[in-house]
Amino acid sequence: MTKKVAPNTSNSDPSPTWSNVTTPGERRSPAPIAAQPFLLTEATFSSPAYSASLLHSENELHNSRVNALCRVLRQLCDEPSRQRLKTMVENYFQRSKATTSPKTLLIPAMHSIDVMMEKVSYENQEADLVKLSNEIIALTSQPIEIDQLTTPQAFIEMFAGDVVRLEYLGDLFAIAAWSERLDLDDAEGRKAMLENMLWCSGTCLTICRAVTKLNDLLIWLGHTHYMLVATVKGHAYEESWKALGDLISDVIVFGMHDDKLIVKDTPFFIQQWRRKIFHSIYSKDKFLATVFDRPPRLLKRYSGVILPLDLPDEDILQNDEDVAKTRVTPEGWNLAGVRSGSSWVRVRSHIAEMLELVHEHRYRAVTDENLARLKKASERNWKTWGTIPGTLRYDPTCWVENSDSQECFMLTNVYLTFLHCDFLIWRTLSKHAPESQMQLLQTSSHILSLVQELGSFRRRGISFHVRFAHVMLWDGLSPAIALAQAAQTIARKGSAAVNLPAGLDRARLVRLLSVFVSELESITGPNEPNFDMCERAGVAISRTLDELLNAPPTITTPNTYTEPAPIPDPGPIVLMPDFMTPDGLHGDVWEGLDMSTWAGMFDWTTMYEQDTPWAIS
């Protein structure tokens, strides 16, 4: 069942949002049909009146952009505001382990903001802002031309000097907003600031797309801004889907989907960042397609972009390809075991490729041949896992031996995502091949064990509570429901009705589900996002456990295997008003529900980039 994207119905916020950043002058209703000429002739186009009207429209459009940009620049007029922006950007890069934003290119150019804003005087602020806005738009409209000889410093000077390009300015606002998003203190007090920075970033992006050709900076801005919109507003938000579509269109038009175009007349450091950005966007597209059951838009079969080398930014900025290749394995992994943003991009791209393969089977006919291919996909998934370096593979001892809890969290999450890919494969197979049910239950129990292990360390970091909540919902909930469904079948038809894998008996099944329900109840409270959905899921699993524990110890069952009901999804409570009542216990609480529709009902707006296979920013 395809999940509908939530429409944008909010009109309570009087401040501009990213979706209407073009200011009133850029969005005008067309003239009435009666007022429009039926046929435009050559004489019409060459007439002075037509030329004058075009010039007038262009002037109006330019003035509206200048006015919008003036509003953006007002955020930077005083030195404390600029310093806060710098601090937020620096904090983001200090705290983010998986960013694809080029810190080593963006941070050194930040002094240009102060140089530029010195042109604005207190006494003549408005006039100076208008003049500066015109200068910025003029600079932004000039194409960025690079070749193989372009150095990192020369590239920085293309977008930051006495005046900065809008692509750079918008990227700073988006990154600063991310820094605020990562800080959980006084979340309500930061809402207005987030919305304002979101609008500023969107304004810069809209003007850039109107006045300049596609370039690397514009792709970076579109990428960062999209993830900001999706995280602040929600991944199911209508404008988030449009933003991702625009970003993917930009990538294809720019040629970033073709490695031959990526390397053509391009210095090494730009090649590497283009590959990082492409694979980051590729991962996001696959994850969202899987969660919301929508077709992916950026497919592996139509792109030939190799993975970026597993090197930190500092090594890439040396801009020496021969030296860089001596620091990685033939497969591109870091020889010294150094983890960097490129490491996580590579891992997530491997995961995304598996998600794409699994997603394809949703639309294929159910044949023995296709089911066999899907089984081979599981083998391929774990072969891929075997190629991941040990420094990027989860080991339970990492929580003791590694002082960086954030890296431990990410390592755990990467392993969970590989397990989740396997879960998706076996869940699909179990619907058509009952013998696959045992493997599904084994994978589900492994996931729940790992989720519970992760939960025992969630006090290690101030943000881990929220991050763990999303791991519970994305990685843990579907497997928990699969196990609960098996428990219900055992309660009603006896142990012989379900082929439990080795190591998973009735007692362990009860323990896993009991702990999961307890953790599910602890991750959210009344009036918090996802409370209703978590409550419903917890009640459903608890009722199933009660049924299992209250079942007679011996039940006569047939010798034939009985396939469990379809993998569940609670859906909105209003769909089953008797669910929370005692009568609900006597029915099938999972009947008619599909897990693919559930994900769209959750609030994903507090997700962190390190916790997901789609790699924010």
Distance CA 209, CA 228 (A): 18
Percentage of the residues of the chain whose pLDDT score is greater than 90: 51
Split at pLDDT 50, 70, 90, the class of 578 is: very low
Report pLDDT for 391: 92
Distance CA 600, CA 533 (A): 11
Cα 467 from chain centre: 14
What is the mean predicted confidence (pLDDT) over 560-568? 39
Cα 3 from chain centre: 17
Structure tokens belonging to residue 393: 């593979």
Q: Is the pLDDT of residue 218 over 90?
A: yes
Domain boundary, last residue among 254, 272, 289: 254
Residues of the domain holding 438: 394-617
Domain boundary, last residue among 197, 229, 254: 254
Split at pLDDT 50, 70, 90, the class of 587 is: very low
For residue range 252-292, what is the model confidence (pLDDT) as tens digits?
999 999 999 999 999 999 999 999 999 999 999 998 888 77
Report pLDDT for 2: 46
15 lies in some domain:
no
For residue range 401-435, what is the model confidence (pLDDT) as tens digits?
877 888 888 899 899 999 999 999 999 899 888 88
Backbone angles phi, psi at 264, to 5 degrees: -65, 120
Report pLDDT for 468: 83
What is the mean predicted confidence (pLDDT) over 308-315? 95
Split at pLDDT 50, 70, 90, the class of 598 is: low
Report pLDDT for 180: 67
Report pLDDT for 396: 85
215 lies in some domain:
yes
Closest CA to 287 of 342, 235, 340, 361: 235
Q: Is the pLDDT of residue 558 over 50?
A: no
What is the mean predicted confidence (pLDDT) over 221-237? 85
Structure tokens belonging to residue 329: 């394995």
Report pLDDT for 366: 85
Report pLDDT for 33: 38
Task: Give the bridge partners for 6, in sequence order.
Answer: 237
End-to-end CA distance of the chain: 30
For residue range 344-399, what is the model confidence (pLDDT) as tens digits?
999 999 999 999 988 888 778 888 898 999 999 999 999 999 999 999 999 888 88
- Mean pLDDT for all residues in the chain: 81
Report pLDDT for 157: 95
Percent helix, percent strand, percent coil in the chain, to nearest 5: 65, 0, 35
Distance CA 164, CA 500 (A): 63
Distance CA 546, CA 364 (A): 38
In a 10 Å sphere around its CB, with 0-12 CB exposed, 13-18 middle and 19+ buried, how is residue 525 labelled? Answer: exposed
137 lies in some domain:
yes
Better-predicted residue by pLDDT, 225 or 573:
225
Report pLDDT for 3: 46
589 lies in some domain:
yes
261 lies in some domain:
no
- Classify 6 as helix, strand or coil: strand
347 lies in some domain:
no
What is the mean predicted confidence (pLDDT) over 434-451? 93
What is the mean predicted confidence (pLDDT) over 584-598? 45
Report pLDDT for 210: 94
Counts of helices then strands in the chain (DSSP H, E): 25, 0
Report pLDDT for 98: 81
Domain count across the chain: 2
Report pLDDT for 575: 29
231 lies in some domain:
yes
CB 45 within 8 A of CB 39: no
Percentage of the residues of the chain whose pLDDT score is greater than 70: 78
270 lies in some domain:
no
For residue range 48-103, what is the model confidence (pLDDT) as tens digits?
765 666 666 788 899 999 999 999 999 999 999 999 999 999 988 888 878 888 89
Region of residue 293 (left: phi > 0; alpha: psi -120 to 50; beta: else): left
What is the mean predicted confidence (pLDDT) over 132-158? 96
Q: Is the pLDDT of residue 163 over 80?
A: yes
Domain boundary, last residue among 192, 226, 254: 254
Split at pLDDT 50, 70, 90, the class of 564 is: very low
Cα 525 from chain centre: 25
Which residues make Cβ contacts (< 8 Å) with residue 204, sequence separation at least 6?
69, 72, 166, 167, 169, 170, 173, 221
Q: Is the pLDDT of residue 569 over 70?
A: no
Q: Is the pLDDT of residue 572 over 70?
A: no
The residue type found at 581 is: T
The secondary structure of residue 458, as a DSSP letter, is: G
Report pLDDT for 474: 83
